[in-house]
Structure 1
């Protein structure tokens, strides 16, 4: 899979990129703000995206997510503040809460791969939040 990472924290972006590549996928770009993210979506046409909510230019990740979803690209939020996710998840498959463990990320990525390949599991892993309790 071609994967886009939208994350403004360099260390987290590098860790996520390393884990994605170790899983056999290709990272097509890392964006740190909304303009970079939108440009990479249009240029690279990723198969999937990880999107942080708070980026270098503020809490623009939800808008990035909606843009990604409008182009029929599945994605998940990766955020330390899940309360900022709208009730409709802005079209996301779910969210991974920071700080996350590598094991939790691997489980979420495996689930996402299964969903995107048409396989269905009964329940997403605990590391992937699909409903928010308000």
Structure 2
């Protein structure tokens, strides 16, 4: 099965992270890793191979902006997901897409399509 890309999930709610993993699988994406805390997210973002990330706005009371900054520096596409009605200034000013929780499969698919990931290319053996 071809995959559409590898996704890093940064989400502090374990049930939502599992639901997101299932939704990504249904959309033919592979999950590279899942982080629930800021320090974990920064480590995974620097060490894992992934094509894009989904960032929860608030990670156990800490902002995910440091992760977003790292992704910007690496040139990795991402969007934010939040259950809050209003966004912190840094995130609101980022211009990045924000997916409001709870979201449906088609909304996730649209947000991922907006990242304009290159389709996964199979390596040919010679």
Partner deviation per Cα, 1:25-82 (whole Å, 9 max, x = no partner): 11011000111111111111311000001112x2321221111111111100001224
Would you say the 8 A contact 1:74–1:93 is kept in 2?
no
Richer in strand (by share): 2
Richer in helix (by share): 1
The two structures have a TM-score, normalised by structure 1, of: 0.75
Higher RCO, Cα 8 Å, sep 6+: 2
Distance 2:62 2:42 in 1: 15
Aligned partner (choices 80, 90, 104) of residue 101 of structure 1: 104
Aligned residues: 113
Aligned residue in 1 for 2:22: 18
Aligned residue in 1 for 2:56: 52
Distance 1:10 1:96 in 2: 18
Residue ranges of structure 2 left out of the alignment (5+ in a row) = 120-126
Aligned residues: CA RMSD: 1.9
The two structures have a TM-score, normalised by structure 2, of: 0.79
Residue ranges of structure 1 left out of the alignment (5+ in a row) = 119-134
Query: Which structure has the larger Rg over C-alpha atoms?
Result: 2
